[in-house]
Structure 1
Amino acid sequence: MGELANGGEADVPPRIDTLVSWAVAHGATLHPAVDVYDDAQTGLSFRVKPSAQRPLQPFEPVVRLPTSLALSYLNALADEGPRRFARAFLADAPPHVVGRLFLAKEYLAGTDSFWWPYIQALPQPLEPERWALPPFWPADEAELLEGTNLEASIDKIRRDVEREWTEARELLRQHGDDELSGKALTATLYQWAYCVFSSRSFRAGLVLSEAQLRRLPEGVAVDDFSVLMPLLDVGNHDMTTEVRWDVDDASQTCDFRVGKAHVAGEQIFNNYSMKTNAELLLGYGFMVPPTPDLHNDYTHLRKRTAATPVASDEYLISLRPLSDPSSLLGRSKQTLRFDPATPVLGAFRHVPPDMAWDIFCTLTPPAQRERLMPAAEGGGDDARRDSFVAGRVVGEGRLYLEQTVAVIQHEVLQELERLDETDVEVVGGDWHLLTGNQKLALDYRERCRQVLENTLSAMSQDELLNDVAEEQ
């Protein structure tokens, strides 16, 4: 640890050296074989030192962080300190908004803030090119995501954040907070705080001690806010990595552990949970490139529902067949589980089986399904689902099968048409003139297109459906 604080093997900017030294001075420990370095592809990262004499063993603590270094809504509840909030304001403002405002206050405090060594290591508010997520990109960059399935989410986040900022300023004014109610709390500063929490925070229940969580006021739930964990948040994302955040209530610390061995020079990844490239781009500002072993490209289609949409109201259309081992995330998100041995109709291979079954159930009442697809004794709807996605239907049932495929095909075609209507062509020689965000947006558009075209191609090649068409 001392080597890193003094430069050592790791070639890191002084701002990171400052962060690590501060964290260590306040009780944090970095595994002796681990340092922080600047990776060409992933930026600041953990790794096993190239000079390490032995591998980092599975679940050895990579970082041990005192939970007192965390920054969140909980810190705003403190009764003391020059930047405390009025109790009436805390009672009126949503906890997640309070956390962002607390970060903004600490930023404005500069070197007087306890968290200054952490905050100075973050992308700074006046450097939006380093922190802005798609909802806050400049217009000429954000417009490249129009026509994709991120467009509605981007618009909603932008409007929600603007509303929160406006309402927060009014609440602060009402409760006499002169520091933030005036010109200091700019829209850009609040957007910055939103993006920092979106891209770097942890769920409170995973990383805070029981003693800290007992301080929550009545009516505030543990998932009403998230937490920034200095230094611990250096780890980059790998959704195949098994990780743990072990909180020790006795020592008031949180350990970051990874469930595999790492050799000298190898990067140590965190796991931000199962998130598609659409979710990663929207909430973190990056995407995972496809490999033969793993892809992360899915198009989100919303279920038709009158209720406020939630994650479970989405279907994921996959770049590769869901049966492909590389479609790890798609299979993990399926709400209906099917017998792995069930052969899936070609037309359904890129869509979740529950999407096909839901559409069929919309087209047919239960009594009709029983008549169209009699199940073996004791099989019930589970057996019918397996038969349906495999295309094992006859007579009138085959007509409903074709209608189900037609509905899915229509949805996919609509998504593709939206892409076509908003398409942008870049003349070959001008690619180098594009910003990083523009290249990222165009890359995302192409990934969406490939998902949709692969799905339509599988449908058009389905032999059973072609047979049905010929019969008609």
Structure 2
Amino acid sequence: MNGHDTNGHSDYKISHFRQWLVDNGGYIHPQVYFKPVSSGFNVVAHRDIPADAKVVSCPFSLAITPDVARKALAAIFRVNMIAPALEGWTERQLMCSYIVMHHILDGHSAPRELAHRPYIDILPATDKLRTSLHFTPHELELFRGTNVYGATIDRQREWEQEWEMCRTRIAVSNSYLAHRFTWELYLTASTHLSSRAFPSTLLSENPTLLSTPGSYPILLPGVDSLNHARAQPVSWVVNTPQPASSSTADAEASISLVLHTATPAGAELCNNYGPKPNAELILGYGFTLPHNPDDTIVLKIGGLAPDTKWEVGRGARGAEPVWAAVKSAVHAQNRYDVGEDERATYSTEDELWATEVLVEMAEDLLGRLPPDSNVTHDEKAAVRPEVAQMLDHYIEGQRDILHSLMEFAKAKEQTVIERARAEGIEIVDDLVT
């Protein structure tokens, strides 16, 4: 979610940020304003904004990158960039620590290397964040039995290990900074990164949101202020410097966000983060979409293929590889049970058993999901409304996917039975005769 601190300084902070962005070569459409809401702010049209309008742009020089962060931290800690204090830090550790230092080294004590204070100042405060790492223990417990629950535990453990490493390394150079380098600040910065970062591929000549093995996370002040709307038609446009002979020779490369639909006065302007399931939105952003078409569930097939995971979506999208894996595992087990040599083809019995395994797996996962009937009125009252809404949206999607997986398995079973009967094989109560 995007937002900022809605205290009495918010108007000043937003005004300061806009001026800072423009002074450094950025742009915000003159009819755009930042409207305070409970979660922070929304980017809203003051007057009608036509289709295909550039609403915001950020020069490459204002992007927060791992390299920018590393140079700043090296200066703050007074170490060489490849000194042990920074050696082995991940891109996230570098960028999150850079953000945290803006909070620790406030006011006149902040060195010039911390160049993004107007931007950091408008990022949402900790109490505005609603990712699953910001749930209360009771709220998180309501997600037990889901992918989100396990992913949240894993992410918190990973980020806490990163934070401990950073704090230990910082202490070698500056014990004062290490003492103030708290878990809460690191978690907040990590959440800003998870909810606002773009891949560095966005800064290429042909910008794309698709990450590559060589890409890295970047933050683009201003460009990341718009909230998400699924399937919103937008374009990313790279503006390159003019030739040296031009009067605008000093202009630098920038990235602009263009919205292809008109926005009436008073309406929110939205970006498109790409197709994301509610599990990812909860874990990294702190919101969900109702009946999200991009919802998925992550499946593991126990002892059949313990090291492999599959993602299945609504309408059993992506279920074919799961079916193939179950069928292969059942085939191997049947051969082992009867002592057969390698057999290349699947028998009717293999396939019928595989459909049963798939249905039982879906039923088991359905049974693990938190049922509404188990949530008492008092428990619901202890959950913040926005978290309760996320739970409802997420569980609806998980149930729909698992029901569609069961239908998928039953359709496979019917196909197997019809094919067997066409070959003269009689099926009686799923038994081959």
Match for residue 44 of structure 1 among 31, 35, 41: 41
Q: Compared with structure 1, are the counterparts of its residues 129 and 184 closer, same or farther at alpha carbon in structure 2 (3 Å cutoff)?
A: same
Within the alignment, does 1:190 sit opposite 2:186 as a pair?
A: yes
CA contact (8 A) 2:239 2:256 kept: no
| Aligned residue in 1 for 2:63 | 70
For residues 295-334 of structure 1, what are the structure 2 equivalents within 5 Å? Answer: 295-302=293-300, 305=305, 313-318=309-314, 321-322=315-316, 330=317, 334=318
CA-CA distance at 1:463 after TM superposition: 5.5
| Aligned residue in 2 for 1:230 | 221
Aligned residues: 378
| Aligned residue in 1 for 2:232 | 241
For residues 353-432 of structure 1, what are the structure 2 equivalents within 5 Å? Answer: 353-364=320-331, 368-369=343-344, 371=345, 396-397=347-348, 399-419=349-369, 424-427=374-377, 431=380
CA-CA distance at 1:439 after TM superposition: 0.8
CA contact (8 A) 2:59 2:253 kept: yes
Q: Compared with structure 1, are the counterparts of its residues 432 and 469 closer, same or farther at alpha carbon in structure 2 (3 Å cutoff)?
A: farther
CA contact (8 A) 1:48 1:263 kept: yes
Give the whole-Å Cα distance in 1 for the aligned partners of 2:217 and 2:40.
Answer: 23
Q: Compared with structure 1, are the counterparts of its residues 430 and 133 closer, same or farther at alpha carbon in structure 2 (3 Å cutoff)?
A: closer
CA contact (8 A) 1:245 1:254 kept: no
Point out the more displaced range, 280-289 or 251-260: 251-260
| Aligned residue in 2 for 1:215 | none
CA-CA distance at 1:119 after TM superposition: 1.4
CA contact (8 A) 1:100 1:194 kept: yes
Give the whole-Å Cα distance in 2 for the aligned partners of 1:91 and 1:133.
Answer: 30
CA contact (8 A) 1:73 1:95 kept: yes
What is the RMSD of the two structures over their aligned residues, measured on CA atoms? 3.5
Q: Which amino acid is 2:225 matched to?
A: V
CA contact (8 A) 1:276 1:296 kept: yes
Aligned-pair identity in percent equals: 21
| Aligned residue in 2 for 1:345 | none
What runs of 5+ residues in structure 2 fail to find an aligned partner? 1-9, 207-212, 242-250, 333-340, 419-426
Using the size of structure 1 for normalisation, the TM-score is 0.69
| Aligned residue in 2 for 1:340 | none
Q: Compared with structure 1, are the counterparts of its residues 100 and 469 closer, same or farther at alpha carbon in structure 2 (3 Å cutoff)?
A: farther
CA contact (8 A) 1:237 1:272 kept: yes
Q: Compared with structure 1, are the counterparts of its residues 270 and 25 closer, same or farther at alpha carbon in structure 2 (3 Å cutoff)?
A: same
Within the alignment, does 1:256 sit opposite 2:251 as a pair?
A: no
| Aligned residue in 2 for 1:4 | none
CA-CA distance at 1:50 after TM superposition: 3.0
Using the size of structure 2 for normalisation, the TM-score is 0.75
Q: Which amino acid is 2:384 matched to?
A: T
Give the whole-Å Cα distance in 2 for the aligned partners of 1:248 and 1:420.
Answer: 49
Q: Compared with structure 1, are the counterparts of its residues 62 and 285 closer, same or farther at alpha carbon in structure 2 (3 Å cutoff)?
A: same
Q: Compared with structure 1, are the counterparts of its residues 39 and 258 closer, same or farther at alpha carbon in structure 2 (3 Å cutoff)?
A: farther
Cα deviation per residue 1:249-293 (whole Å; 9 max; x = unaligned)? 534333333463324335432222222111111111111112xxx
| Aligned residue in 2 for 1:178 | 175
Within the alignment, does 1:448 sit opposite 2:379 as a pair?
A: no
| Aligned residue in 2 for 1:146 | 144
Point out the more displaced range, 114-123 or 442-451: 442-451
Look up the SS of the partner of 1:229 in the other structure: coil
CA contact (8 A) 2:234 2:257 kept: yes
Q: Compared with structure 1, are the counterparts of its residues 205 and 438 closer, same or farther at alpha carbon in structure 2 (3 Å cutoff)?
A: closer
CA-CA distance at 1:114 after TM superposition: 3.2
CA-CA distance at 1:43 after TM superposition: 6.1
Within the alignment, does 1:18 sit opposite 2:16 as a pair?
A: yes
Q: Compared with structure 1, are the counterparts of its residues 109 and 465 closer, same or farther at alpha carbon in structure 2 (3 Å cutoff)?
A: same
Match for residue 197 of structure 2 among 198, 201, 209: 201
Q: Compared with structure 1, are the counterparts of its residues 455 and 222 closer, same or farther at alpha carbon in structure 2 (3 Å cutoff)?
A: closer
